[in-house]
Structure 1
């Protein structure tokens, strides 16, 4: 095929069919090289490792290329499990408490705070009454007018009387009910009542202009009806801003222009009471309406010094702890914060600006509610205020919310950051709030423990609380337990599984896997093939099927079976379940390693000596059952089952040492069955240590050793509890294991098989069952003991070293995961081999003995 006819689709087809030679040819033709491992986007760090890798990067990414890289496929980070910590949480309430519905709620106070009106009524009323006076004929004769008429020779058709300014007998009221004016509605109602008391012979009606309407509606005994223009000569009092405080557009001003023209044609005297300065209004409106500002202090127009974004933001900042903002609370907060200087002193116009801010999407006549993320942003700004400003603002909120349930105040205190919660004036209330939430969480061990009103309030409250509340050292555990129970495990963000009460659910095991730069939680199925593209990181024990992931920047995210997480590049992270905590760290290719990558079996590194590769697989720290259960067929008395915890991870060779590698290192081949890819045999425990010491001299920075028996058993099982890593006795056959072919009989004919002849286990380790017995570091002990052990090293002394795994000569029962044997350190046979490990140092005895063997 011509190169011009090739495409990346051809390459993908070759990769899918596992055709290595075709993949290499197509990659070269397309200007690509193989550098990633199969099935996942994992990067080996050497361009020479092209024999088995099938992932691809651009050739310009290679370090020895002189061209500039223009399009490089991203390299995923390599993570390994560094530490594992197991724990068990305790139930915080008895079953008797769990069966009882809990509905205790703090009782609200009967004291209602006082509303601060927009201005001094005694100053406003005289100005309004003066504006409502109209000239009318009095009873006294106007002598001057009579004399003037007679002197001009005019006949007196009537007797002129002196004019007097009197209240109009007909006064109508029109209230603007625009949402932006909600902070002033209560002021409008009060002023209307006071005006009615001061008008001696009032005749008129009441109308409103609803939000978004272009036509007022009139109040009648039958309800709202169409509004009719007041009769000529009557007075109309309007409570509105004439659209001056509308933040977005001028639609309201256009409506009032139309109403003003109609009133003028009807010769109706219109008086508008403004919460702002008259100059803030559209100049065209002032020809139709007589404007009276509520506050005389509003002498500066908005165009000259209007409240911009900064005053609105400041006022919202000090209101942030309040979960609901009543118009009267807004007013009281504005007035109270004026004590902190000119930058905190604003007129009434800022209230309308706050009420229209996008941070308050739900605005009602009684209160406005926050947009959750906006409130959290303003809470962070509140935390930056000084202690005096915080104390003053919280005192205002507490005073106004005194008439509400204490639950509201408790939630507001819980929303504060840790520093604000330390304010001296709050300590008594903080203790009461802590006690309330702790008692509530101890009683709520199931959703049915709460009555419906309390449960509904908790659902609203827990959604509003900022993440800092769930992370609080004192209240965090109580709030997380409440959130998990109230939302029945559906709202997991911010919940640490470690903080939850112990569940009665059985412990299950799930798999943490990496695909590219994403972390997945998958069902653990060691006997089934993993989904294509997934590489295991560790196995995790848990009861509740969700975990929390703590990233390096302190961010806490929830991971569930149906929702993966994107991991940051080259950062450490922790995974926490309700049974254990796993700490992961990023891993860089060490200098001795020819390649580093991930595949469907996990993380690997390649050691190359004289062009002979040896791959190592990372075995993470974990807890497993060592030995065999009493009902396992073929078990022996030295296999007492017990729990073993390995606190450190280690690297284990994926095959036994081949004759080719032994020959390269030691210069001779002691094996009975000859073949470069056959396992080396007829080697003793001492011979294995001599090999390790010789290879260590070539790689002085590399720690090499035999695995302990516990490490070998853990690696062999690869998460299984069956007799073999692939199943039980029924699954055993010679297509899986090189053994005698009989369960109890032996086969003296041999031979050994080349390494990687049989399928690997779930960790990518080959021939852990059969082929050759494998030496371990430990002294052989006839009994394990049933008690749990941590990092066991076997017996302190003995006559024999441990052998594991069975061989081509062994019967089937001897090749089980729990099967074990022993022989003196200098013993050997044609079915004895070994594989070596990397990682933490082993005990010194083996190293000393190996040294003596080399000296001899």
Structure 2
């Protein structure tokens, strides 16, 4: 095949060539040449991964059948914990806590083997299934008397008939792995039959796991031959016939084929089943004569599928207390409760749950600690769990003593009351004596050490919390193993004494995390965080949500999920919850409380119902709201019929009256008690529709067709819900498609006075009810957030629909990742039907060991929240999506960045980039040895920035100031120059106004945040290194990063033209001094004036164009009155990432808040720590 003359590279050359060349080629190909915008590289930014939306130009909407691309997530370091000052875990007081057991409990006697039934019972049942009858040894007295009374000749004495197996009896033992719990029973039955049956007329065969043909095992002379019965033979299968297999139906098919084959040969087939007979399908019962094996399995009625599943989960939960699980232990524990006692098949079902690498052994199996955590619920208050624990403890009495002590260590803290005080101390002393022996001898090959190595992976997180010695043993004995959940490198003890402190830079390099201790960073490395350690171990734990990571409260405010909730979670929009009726599923969005202007600013051209004047309205309580209009699928599932004119399960239901909606609510309440659906009030509807916008629609700069089906776009019919762009609350089709009924009666007039939760009800049943949003057959005039209309409550029309609201339950301010309700209910002791929600798996690499190499690498963790833990520090990473206020977001060689745009009429948008500053620690101030230092820079001390934050990557420019404030006070004019001649109060006013424009809560940085960001990990005088202020020869590097009196004696310069620091921040030193929000004090050991002192001096940082090199240092600080407006004073803004209007009172007052307890959900109340963390994670309120 000949290669083409032109390649794709030639096409690229054409596209990058002159326009006339491109046009000529396009004309030859029958194409149209579209102009392109060149990608101009930014200085020193080698690469960028970004997620953006267009802001300066309108873009054509996607075709209806093309879905928008999914949101891109980025890693973000959000929280830092200094563990060197926080107390590490110690042996808890639980060892001394009073117990209801004052002395070691007498052991429970447990037999080593308890058969399903005695052989006598089994043999009796089997004989009843024998196919033939022949005279036995017992005289038939009734026939004998009858013959003698009738004078018949007695040729022989009549005898009673007995059932026989036929010519031969063949026993087939199923050795499938799922039947391991019954292996001893199979052996006992085979042994007894072998003793009773002659070798000439019987055989014992085995069917191995996944095999299709039984092979003879006895008689010995036939061993290994395939079983080949002849007509008249009887086959006895010691098997479940495959019906207990939870993985596939292959085994059942095998036994079905064997049964059919042997029946075709006129053989009798009998199955001794280790499960309830009612489990056997009819098709198998036609092929096999089932015999009950267990003596109790016929007790009670047939359990339902839900009861059987619940019994299995119950048995698993009870067994999760054991380190080692033998088949006989499963049986003994199963028989402790009624549901388990009547279903011997649970033993197989449970065995199939265990770890695959252990479940094949006949002797015992284990749970992994992860499996145990998932199924082990609150056992401390469970009497049956306590009884099971005593059985487990007794069963292992004859085993190695370490088994019992490991199981005692694994007990939940509340369950330690089951142990006497002496037993608790014995458990602790067993592990502590092992540690002391290791310290004394250094031997790791003895019996106890080898036992710990085997079981360490099965020790629970509770065990590591109760027994700090376990951390030392894990570090010493299992240095190359994956650490169990709960292992803490900070408790490794004397093993790390004398180690030097290392600083590790954590960066993302493609699909891996790099942990670098020295050397140059890879070209495509993007920094995430810095973490210190002495013990050269970093433990990586993944969590499903911030709550599991210990950073926030749960999803539901009252701590428990309502019964009607099927799934719930939080995404980039906010909390959501779903309920199910029949096959229909409906999602609701949480609408937080807040304030808005209700109505229109101006009277519309054709005003059917008054929309003016605009009235300030407060919605004091949050509520759930359907994220779409009620669908026909949901209506039909509830009401049993579909009245709609335009049919389609995902179309909105229409032709329903206001009265019909009330009946719908009643029927849903019957199916979902506590959901308490109702129609939203008119005020709630408009508040939810606007979702923060003051415009006529929530389309923004886009067209109405992007958000609403109206008379221009709908084509004279309704359309499936959820296909158009939602509003900021995640609500679809609030405008258009169908009018939506509201709870109010028409007639409420708007007034200028503020009101809360308005609702209009006259008490007249026939009064018209409000409808909102317009419909498919209405023009844009009616498809507006403020548009109002009304109809009689009995009216139906193909343009009238509705959506429901609910206040039945309330989420906390946080919320968690999606989780299935069955998982949540199983936490409360009920059955688990499957894994919860769509949580991602944990990372496979949970431990990174820092060795002698420059860097170590591990895969990027899969969970949404990750904790990096060392002996000295913890850093929490979260996946974050582009927040609503950002037009672009990405990651480059300096870390995470985002941008927002501020429009300027006729001049295009002003783009401002922000850098994410990861949390961490640093030395604040200057050491006594730093040349040129001032006394106010001391004493140098360690400062901790516990939470990450956004920071302008440059000082505020004159272009941005002008776009927001409408004027430019600067002396040295230039759009890219920093704004100057602004006082502190003006800077505060600017941040407030810009916050409103952008939708991001902005403020001035604190002095701590400013210096931390300026240094960007450097301990030198500047982020370019040290210098001598009195020696210009040493200032060559300083001139590359800062404008000061040597290279800028005449004024300011454009921002971003010199070299940035390691976190991508420009002009942190020089150009203009930057206001901070702190009040001034002359040293770090001096008290600061009160924050509300209006005349108190304010801190300025960084030096300026007029200063000498002595002032252009990271530690340099000064203070000034808040009112000077001079040409050396500017500023830059910072933000925690929260949306404007939803920040904390502390943020609005200029203070960084500390962690606070959960509030009541009101948007203007102080935000607790987890709320602000979630703002950064999702970009939401």
- Same fold per superposition (TM over 0.5): yes
Distance 1:173 1:491 in 2: 53
Distance 1:218 1:202 in 2: 11
Preserved contact between residue 574 and residue 583 of structure 1 (Cα < 8 Å): yes
Q: Deviations over 1:519-565 (max 9, x none)?
A: 9565488x97775484x554444453344354426456567641213
- Report the counterpart of residue 678 of structure 2 in structure 1: none
- Report the counterpart of residue 736 of structure 1 in structure 2: 1040
Distance 1:90 1:764 in 2: 35
User: Which residue, 65, 73, 77 being the options, matches 2:69?
Assistant: 73
CA apart distance, 1:117: 4.0
Preserved contact between residue 82 and residue 649 of structure 1 (Cα < 8 Å): yes
1:834 equivalenced with 2:1130 (yes/no): yes
Distance 2:125 2:913 in 1: 94
User: Which residue, 1111, 1114, 1122 being the options, matches 1:817?
Assistant: 1114
Secondary structure of the residue aligned to 1:178 is strand
- Call closer, same or farther: CA 1:772–1:581 in 2, change over 3 Å: closer
- Call closer, same or farther: CA 1:776–1:480 in 2, change over 3 Å: same
What's the TM-score, normalizing by structure 1? Answer: 0.62
Secondary structure of the residue aligned to 1:216 is strand
Distance 1:749 1:179 in 2: 91
CA apart distance, 1:404: 2.8
Distance 1:116 1:833 in 2: 87
Q: Tell me which moved more, 251-260 or 317-326.
A: 251-260
- Report the counterpart of residue 178 of structure 1 in structure 2: 174
Q: Deviations over 1:790-837 (max 9, x none)?
A: 9999x99999975633646634x553433567789899987x343243
1:470 equivalenced with 2:461 (yes/no): yes
Preserved contact between residue 605 and residue 616 of structure 1 (Cα < 8 Å): yes
| Greater per-residue helix proportion | 1
CA apart distance, 1:70: 1.7
Distance 1:13 1:442 in 2: 73
Alignment of structure 1 residues 689-700 onto 2, 5 Å: 689=984, 691-692=986-987, 695=990, 699=994
Tell me, which stretches of 5 or more residues in structure 2 are unaligned? 1-6, 17-30, 92-103, 140-152, 246-250, 550-841, 849-856, 1028-1033, 1136-1146, 1152-1181
CA apart distance, 1:737: 3.9
- Report the counterpart of residue 1025 of structure 2 in structure 1: 727
- Report the counterpart of residue 854 of structure 1 in structure 2: none
Distance 2:37 2:106 in 1: 73
- Report the counterpart of residue 769 of structure 1 in structure 2: 1069
CA apart distance, 1:164: 9.2
Distance 2:1088 2:83 in 1: 15
Alignment of structure 1 residues 322-361 onto 2, 5 Å: 322=319, 323=322, 324-333=324-333, 335-338=335-338, 346=342, 350=345, 354=349, 357=352
Preserved contact between residue 238 and residue 273 of structure 1 (Cα < 8 Å): yes
Distance 2:474 2:986 in 1: 58
User: Which residue, 877, 880, 897 being the options, matches 1:603?
Assistant: 897
- Report the counterpart of residue 419 of structure 2 in structure 1: 429
Root-mean-square deviation over aligned CA pairs: 6.8
Preserved contact between residue 413 and residue 430 of structure 1 (Cα < 8 Å): no
Instruction: Return the index of the structure with the highest Cα Rg.
Output: 1
User: Which residue, 924, 941, 954 being the options, matches 1:655?
Assistant: 954
Secondary structure of the residue aligned to 1:714 is helix
- Call closer, same or farther: CA 1:791–1:622 in 2, change over 3 Å: farther
CA apart distance, 1:756: 1.8
- Report the counterpart of residue 148 of structure 1 in structure 2: none
- Report the counterpart of residue 20 of structure 1 in structure 2: none
CA apart distance, 1:636: 6.0
- Call closer, same or farther: CA 1:346–1:662 in 2, change over 3 Å: closer
Distance 1:661 1:260 in 2: 89
Preserved contact between residue 297 and residue 342 of structure 2 (Cα < 8 Å): no
CA apart distance, 1:614: 5.1
1:87 equivalenced with 2:83 (yes/no): yes
Preserved contact between residue 73 and residue 879 of structure 2 (Cα < 8 Å): no
CA apart distance, 1:72: 2.2
Alignment of structure 1 residues 551-590 onto 2, 5 Å: 551-552=544-545, 554-555=547-548, 561-566=857-862, 568=864, 577=870, 578-580=872-874, 582=876
Preserved contact between residue 770 and residue 805 of structure 1 (Cα < 8 Å): yes
- Call closer, same or farther: CA 1:496–1:334 in 2, change over 3 Å: closer
- Call closer, same or farther: CA 1:401–1:254 in 2, change over 3 Å: farther
- Report the counterpart of residue 461 of structure 1 in structure 2: 455
How many residues are treated as equivalent by the alignment? 734
- Call closer, same or farther: CA 1:305–1:28 in 2, change over 3 Å: farther
User: Which residue, 643, 649, 663 being the options, matches 2:942?
Assistant: 643
Alignment of structure 1 residues 290-689 onto 2, 5 Å: 316-320=312-316, 321-322=318-319, 323=322, 324-333=324-333, 335-338=335-338, 346=342, 350=345, 354=349, 357=352, 367-369=363-365, 372=368, 376=372, 379=375, 387=382, 389-390=384-385, 393-394=388-389, 396-405=391-400, 407-409=402-404, 422=415, 427-429=417-419, 435=425, 438-439=428-429, 451=445, 453-464=447-458, 469-470=460-461, 475=466, 486-488=477-479, 490-492=481-483, 494-495=485-486, 497=488, 500-501=491-492, 503-504=496-497, 505-511=499-505, 520=513, 522-523=515-516, 531-532=523-524, 534=526, 536=527, 538-543=529-534, 544-552=537-545, 554-555=547-548, 561-566=857-862, 568=864, 577=870, 578-580=872-874, 582=876, 600-601=893-894, 602-606=896-900, 608=902, 615-619=913-917, 621-629=919-927, 632=930, 639-640=937-938, 641-646=940-945, 652-656=951-955, 658=957, 668-671=969-972, 675-679=974-978, 688-689=983-984
- Report the counterpart of residue 1058 of structure 2 in structure 1: 758
- Report the counterpart of residue 99 of structure 1 in structure 2: none
Preserved contact between residue 1043 and residue 1053 of structure 2 (Cα < 8 Å): no
Preserved contact between residue 1073 and residue 1131 of structure 2 (Cα < 8 Å): no
Tell me, which stretches of 5 or more residues in structure 1 are unaligned? 15-25, 51-57, 95-105, 139-150, 152-159, 845-856
CA apart distance, 1:736: 1.0
